[in-house]
Amino acid sequence: MEWSKTKTIFIIAFLILDLYLAVVFFKTRSDSEFTLTQEVPIERKLELSGITIGDLPKDKETGYYISAKSKDFSLTDINSLLIKGQEQNLQPSLGMKAGYTTLSMSLEKPYPIPDVNVKSKVTQFLKENVLYGEMYEYWYLDKEENAIICIQKYKNNKIFQANENHIAMVKLEMNDKNEIYSYEQSMLEDIKEVQEKEVTVSASEAIEALYNKNLLGTGSKLVRTEYGYYTNIPLTNQQILAPTWHIMVETAEGEREDYYVNALEAEILQSPDNEVKEE
């Protein structure tokens, strides 16, 4: 009789213990799942940090590295511009037969740029006056130098570069009447894809990489986010460019900074070019 009572007590005790362990297990798993489902999205993190963002590209891209070489503009190229009433600013050195990787040309008649429809007018100028002008696109106005910066495209994506690197750029120099009076041109050619296509990180993930490195200060604003190609180590002739997210940030102090994030590896490539830029 005593053994029967003892056995019953043991059974009840084990049932209570099993019930307690089951409750603890499910509570722990539930808390873990809740933590995962409650992870704060980057848009909310930015909002809580006082960082303003505009509309971001939603879709991920298909990216790959590309290789290219700097074009040598030939004397034939230069002569085709001279016929249009342009003058070469830099004369070839004595006995020089090779071409130039950068052209510097002056216009016989300055080309006016109105205050409205600037981009369309620049596009027209490029097509009519610049070699392979259809391959370039308006990028920004450099107010400090009073110049319009246009950059080359590959498959409709921009080839980003700092002003001083000038590897695939047309720099339109203007006078105080807002007229183009001269320009410089560089160009990439023989562009090839050098690896298999991969799905890139999203624009949000690229921005989160900057946020996690504390590169986005309180009160800053994301002015522009766009996809293209970039190299942080430009070479003399041959270039390797990575698929890249370009993120332009306006700080709380009103300064603008350019950041570049490798779109395949989420590696941050911070541009040293922090010039004030405007659409």
Which CATH number covers residue 107?
3.30.310.160
Whichever domain contains 224, its CATH number is 2.40.128.690
Alpha-carbon distance of 58 to 16, in angstroms, equals 52
The verdict on residue 226 lying in a domain is yes
pLDDT band at 96 (very low <50, low <70, confident <90, very high): very low
Q: What average pLDDT does the segment 12-32 reach?
A: 52
Instruction: Indicate whether 13 belongs to any domain.
Output: no
Distance between CA atoms of residues 155 and 278, nearest Å: 24
Domain count, the chain: 2
* 230 inside domain: yes
Mean pLDDT, range 80-102, rounded to an integer: 72
Q: What is the pLDDT at residue 49?
A: 86
**Greatest mean pLDDT among 183-187, 191-195, 212-216, 234-238:** 183-187
| pLDDT recorded at residue 155 | 93
Could you list the residue range(s) of the whole structural domain that residue 164 is in?
70-189
Which of 154, 189, 224 terminates a domain? The answer is: 189
**Could you tell me if 75 and 182 lie in one domain?**
yes
Percent of the chain with pLDDT over 90: 50
Mean pLDDT of 80-107: 76
End-to-end CA distance of the chain: 93
Predicted TM-score of the model (pTM): 0.78
Residue 21 has pLDDT above 70, yes or no: no
Out of 153, 169, 189, pick the residue that ends a domain.
Answer: 189
Cα-based distances in Å from 140 to 24, 108, 243, 278: 60, 25, 21, 6
Burial class of residue 43 in the structure, from the number of CB atoms within 10 Å of its CB (0-12 exposed, 13-18 middle, 19+ buried): middle
